[in-house]
Amino acid sequence: MSEILLAAQNVTKKFPGVLANDDVSIRLRPGRILALLGENGAGKSTLVNVLFGMYRPDSGQVVIKDETVDLHGPDDAISRGIGMVHQHFQLVPPMRVVENIVLGDEPTKRGLVDLDEARNRVVELSERYGLEIDPDALVEDLPVGMQQRVEILKALYRNADVLIMDEPTGVLTPQEADHLLGVLRELTETGLGIVFITHKLREVLAIADDIVVLRNGQVVGETTPSQTSEGGLAEMMVGRSVVLQVEKSAADPGDVVLKVSELEVNDDRGQVALDGLNFEVRAGEILGVAGVEGNGQRELVEAITGLRHPAFGVMEIDGEELTSSSPRQITKKGVAHIPEDREKHGVVAVYSVAENSILNRYHRKPFSIRGILRRHVIRGHAQDVVDEFDVRTPNVLVPASSLSGGNKQKLIVGREFSDEIKLLIAAQPTRGIDIGAIEFIHRRILEQRDKGTAVLLVSAELDEILGLSDRIAVLYDGKIMDVIDAHDADREKIGLLMAGITD
Amino acid sequence: MGEVMKPQQRQLLYAGLAVMLVLIWIFYSANGPQTTAVLAGTVRAATLLALGAMCGMIGERSGVVNIGIEGQFLLSAFAAFTIASMTGSLFMGTIAGIGMGLMMGWLLAAMAVGLKVDQIIAGTVLNIAALGLTSFFYDRSRSLGMGKYTNIDLGPLADIPLVGTVFFSRPPLTYLTMALLVVVHIALFRSVWGMRTRAIGEHPGAADTVGIDVLKLRYLNVTLAGGLAGLGGSYLALEAVGTFSRAMSGGRGFLALAVMIFGRRTPFGAYAAALFFGFTTALQNQFQLNNTFDIPPQFVGMLPFVVTIVVVALSGLVGSMRDPAALGQNYEKG
């Protein structure tokens, strides 16, 4: 058996204006799990793409099974036994499991695909590795956890000795995630090596044998779970000590601000996405909506902010019915919205920071008078937002597209918070941004709560929900399974509800 | 391996089939020659639609919309007719028609796959170019001295009453089309090529990560599919009509797309749909011939199109068919 399964040796990769990987070295031995930890933009993806043959390094080498190799593409990596499970599954939904697994490397008999042989091989693989699956099921009918299993089998079918898992637990419930970690551990017992990419500190400590932390394209630390803690890892990732859990005082709820009754909303395909929702959010409290993504969260946020018309039900803000009102009417009532997809709904990329800072009220005084924008007022306002919300930008005239994710998000938060608001709808407010910005935005959301704003927080990150919420509603399959007081909530309990299990 | 049909749909299909057979038997008993004429006309009209639908489905299964079938028919019919009349060989004309179809398929691929032009615009370019070119080079004095393809009786099969005349006493390109239906079905649903083709139409990214060259396969498929439309053009000029006239494809390239959708992008489904649409055309011809109804022929002539609208509106009856997920989207690597 090889001494080193997969290694990067002094890999450097530059993109225009960015040094994505700077002299990075990692090594993976057989039977071990190497966790690659780092914030967005730290260089994890670049490194993995180099190892998988998607990018060629500017300098440095890739070593596979003790041999220095020159990879010309993913095919090269696959044929040398590297398997990758992408964060967004690369499966063909209307095809069967077995077809998906053998696609691109199909067994044939007399010129046609030999599905019986393919099925035998899949069954044999799934038995050998204890990954039970129905080979004839259509992928689109499988739950997410099973689809991931198909991806793993796809790699094993191609005789992978190394699995690269890119953020594999993002779409799973806590229980499913635990199960996956168990499966991965078992896989290593056959000598397989695993590179596990994540930004979730708890998982790293639970599963990794070795940990490599990246920051700004460089390896800033190598450690093992026994030598470190969540705090220690976070500090390595960010480069300073960070507060993982923002401190918060007890909530002091006031009057009901948002009241939703019997809300039914359809998704883009016309299927029922929300099925008779009832809940309230009071002034000065944060209601967290937990759940695996795709259980109706997007439709809920869109219905409340006026982007999608409900099929049935009533939504009241401050006692006034606003069901099916336009986004502008709703904004006028003092509703702020941090949208889930900041690139699509949060900023206009080609507009300047200044223009983006008034997207929700360009039509009002003092920003425009009789239909004419007043540039100096807008710039002044933008400068205030930039200063107060710590948006890192050379000036307010650069296009929003030049800002990093975290700074874009701070700009959005600044824009939404710079008016008097009664209700805040925050959807995935810290997705894909650095820990420093997360901490900042969490503080600001709590500040709003303490000022008496009602907050609806929708997030796929359970830690975020647990850390900020006063009450937690768990959404599953378009229904609220339960609303729990945050004091009584724990991961276990919420995880079960997220999977639709009630006792 | 093909598309899975729900049991209710299957039952509906069988019930419809049974009703049809009974009706045909009743009509045949009442008026043999006319029934035979209508059904023979049905198969004649269906052949062209089936070829167009197969061309469309191979493109769409790979993620490329082809609304240029109309133009492919027309220009191929022109090429087939011109070469046949110049060489005096129907076979050479047929080859020329197929060649022209391949070339137009390649042109569509070059625009839509290679240059990533919007697929609808690329198809429209084919249609406009075909209409313009064929009108410009149209030569009224040309004709097929040797006549068009004639019927070939398939031995004793041709002697079966009704069925023999309708299916087994046909000109060669009709037989070829029937054979191609089987070939395309097996290729799409049983071969490695077909599996990869369906994959790149649904999720090109997934195909890419397992080492399938998405752009190359789309290029190949759109070009090859053009050959089927080219055969359709040859059929139109050399077998169905026996001459070329301006805009002779008459919207059948678009009707073929309706047939393709109604047939759920499967060859046999498309043939069933083509027979249905062909039947309305044949019926309409027969009505006009016999002057069955005392109304202007223009209204009788609308029958196939009215039926098309009604049927497409009711197509929920055969179950809604989802489009390939990546249909119409140009693929960017990475």
Is the model's pLDDT at A122 over the cut of 80? Answer: yes
CB A72: neighbour CB atoms within 10 A? 10
**Higher per-residue confidence, A183 vs B320:** A183
pTM score of the predicted model: 0.80
Nearest Cα neighbor of A216 from A21, A494, A382 is: A21
Tens-digit pLDDT profile for residues A307-358: 999 999 999 999 999 998 999 999 999 999 999 988 888 999 999 999 999 9
Q: Give the pLDDT confidence score for residue B204 in this predicted structure.
A: 94
Among the candidates A419, A442, A477, a domain finishes at A419
Q: Is the dihedral of CA A130, A133, A139, A141 positive or negative?
A: negative
Return the DSSP state at A352.
B
Taking phi over 0 as left and psi of -120 to 50 as alpha, with beta for the rest, A452 belongs to left
CA distance A91 to B173: 40
Return the DSSP state at B276.
H
Both A470 and A394 in one domain: the answer is: no
Both A16 and A52 in one domain: the answer is: yes
Both A53 and A161 in one domain: the answer is: yes
Q: Which of residues 189-208 of B touch A (CB under 8 A)?
A: 190-192, 195-196, 198-199, 202-203, 205-208
Q: What is the bridge-based pairing of β-strands A59-64 and A108-109?
A: unpaired
Read off the pLDDT band of B1 (50, 70, 90): very low
Read off the pLDDT band of B78 (50, 70, 90): very high
- Looking up residue A488, the CATH number of its domain turns out to be 3.40.50.300
Read off the pLDDT band of B5 (50, 70, 90): low
**Higher per-residue confidence, A491 vs A475:** A475
Secondary structure class of A208 (helix, strand, coil): coil
Q: Which of A432-446, B186-200, B302-316 bottoms out in mean pLDDT, i.e. has the lowest?
A: B302-316
Is residue A63 assigned to a domain? Answer: yes
Cross-chain residue pair B195–A100, CB shorter than 8 Å: no
Among the candidates A377, A396, A419, a domain finishes at A419
Cross-chain residue pair A90–B210, CB shorter than 8 Å: yes
- Which helix (H) or strand (E) segment is A238 a member of? helix A230-238
- Does A94 reach chain B within 8 Å, measured CB to CB? yes
Is residue B247 within 8 A of residue B131, CB to CB? The reply is yes
Both A131 and A255 in one domain: the answer is: no
Both A474 and A494 in one domain: the answer is: yes
Both A248 and A207 in one domain: the answer is: no
Minimal-distance CA residue of chain B relative to A99? B195
Tens-digit pLDDT profile for residues B244-292: 998 999 889 999 998 998 888 999 999 998 998 888 888 888 888 777 7
Is the model's pLDDT at A2 over the cut of 80? Answer: no
Is residue A344 assigned to a domain? Answer: no
Tens-digit pLDDT profile for residues B154-179: 888 888 888 888 888 899 999 999 99
- Does B251 reach chain A within 8 Å, measured CB to CB? no
Is residue A440 assigned to a domain? Answer: yes
Cross-chain residue pair B195–A94, CB shorter than 8 Å: no
* ipTM attached to this prediction: 0.85
Both A404 and A467 in one domain: the answer is: no
B141-165 average pLDDT score:
86
Cross-chain residue pair B192–A108, CB shorter than 8 Å: yes
Secondary structure class of B247 (helix, strand, coil): coil
B268, B273, B275, B277: CA torsion to nearest 10: -160
Cross-chain residue pair A93–B203, CB shorter than 8 Å: yes
Q: Is the dihedral of CA A158, A163, A166, A169 positive or negative?
A: positive
Q: What is the mean pLDDT of chain A?
A: 91
Is residue A339 assigned to a domain? Answer: no
- Which helix (H) or strand (E) segment is A206 a member of? helix A201-207
Is the model's pLDDT at B131 over the cut of 70? Answer: yes
Could you tell me how many residues make up chain A?
Answer: 503
Q: What is the mean pLDDT of chain B?
A: 88
CA distance A193 to B171: 64
Among the candidates A238, A272, A304, a domain finishes at A238
Identify which of B186, B191, B199 has the shortest CB distance to residue A92. B199
Tens-digit pLDDT profile for residues A358-367: 998 898 888 9
Minimal-distance CA residue of chain A relative to B2? A95
Is residue B200 within 8 A of residue B327, CB to CB? The reply is no
CA distance A399 to A419: 23
Both A261 and A386 in one domain: the answer is: no
What's the burial of A270, exposed, middle or buried (CB within 10 Å: 0-12/13-18/19+)?
Answer: exposed
Is the model's pLDDT at B225 over the cut of 50? Answer: yes
Is the model's pLDDT at A79 over the cut of 60? Answer: yes
Read off the pLDDT band of A1 (50, 70, 90): low
Shortest Cα distance, chain B CAs vs residue A49, angstroms: 11
Is residue A343 assigned to a domain? Answer: no
Is residue A166 assigned to a domain? Answer: yes
Which of B3, B6, B210 would best serve as a mutation to test chain A binding (most A beta carbons within 10 A)? Answer: B210
A163-179 average pLDDT score:
87
Would you report the helix, strand and coil content of chain B in percent, each value rounded to 5? 75, 0, 25
Both A170 and A281 in one domain: the answer is: no
Q: Give the pLDDT confidence score for residue B320 in this predicted structure.
A: 57
Q: Give the pLDDT confidence score for residue A298 in this predicted structure.
A: 92
Is the model's pLDDT at A38 over the cut of 90? Answer: no
Shortest Cα distance, chain A CAs vs residue B208, angstroms: 9
Tens-digit pLDDT profile for residues A188-238: 998 999 999 988 888 899 999 999 999 989 999 999 999 998 888 988 888
Minimal-distance CA residue of chain B relative to A85? B209
Both A355 and A314 in one domain: the answer is: no
Q: Which of residues 50-79 of A touch B (CB under 8 A)?
A: 54, 73-75, 78
Is the model's pLDDT at B130 over the cut of 60? Answer: yes
A222, A224, A229, A231: CA torsion to nearest 10: 10
Which residue in the block uniquely carries the two structure tokens 């068009």? Answer: B148
Is residue A20 assigned to a domain? Answer: yes
Q: Quick one: tokens of A268?
A: 């883009």
Both A183 and A208 in one domain: the answer is: yes
Is the model's pLDDT at A391 over the cut of 70? Answer: yes
Is residue A211 within 8 A of residue A33, CB to CB? The reply is no
Both A288 and A272 in one domain: the answer is: yes
CA distance A422 to B222: 56
DSSP string, B121-160: HHHHHHHHHHHHHHHHH--TT---TT-S---EE-GGGGGS
Is residue A341 assigned to a domain? Answer: no
Residues of A within 8 A of B334 (CB-CB) are 54
Q: Give the pLDDT confidence score for residue B2 in this predicted structure.
A: 42
CA distance A303 to A316: 12
Q: Is the dihedral of CA B81, B87, B93, B97 positive or negative?
A: negative
Nearest Cα neighbor of B173 from B233, B100, B254 is: B233
Minimal-distance CA residue of chain B relative to A49? B334
Q: Give the pLDDT confidence score for residue B334 in this predicted structure.
A: 53
Q: Give the pLDDT confidence score for residue B177 in this predicted structure.
A: 96
Domains annotated on chain B, with CATH? 7-318 (1.10.3470)
Residues of A within 8 A of B199 (CB-CB) are 92, 95, 103
- Total structural domains within chain A: 3
Cross-chain residue pair B209–A100, CB shorter than 8 Å: no
- Does A239 reach chain B within 8 Å, measured CB to CB? no
Tens-digit pLDDT profile for residues A403-438: 888 899 999 999 999 888 999 999 999 987 878 888
Q: Quick one: tokens of B212?
A: 């399938």
For A411, the domain range is 349-419
Cross-chain residue pair B212–A103, CB shorter than 8 Å: yes
Q: Quick one: tokens of A451?
A: 């000022």
Q: Give the pLDDT confidence score for residue B316 in this predicted structure.
A: 59
Distances (CA, A) of A369 to A328, A361, A384, B170: 18, 12, 21, 78
Q: Quick one: tokens of B296?
A: 């202007």
Shortest Cα distance, chain A CAs vs residue B190, angstroms: 6
Q: Quick one: tokens of A216?
A: 């700004």
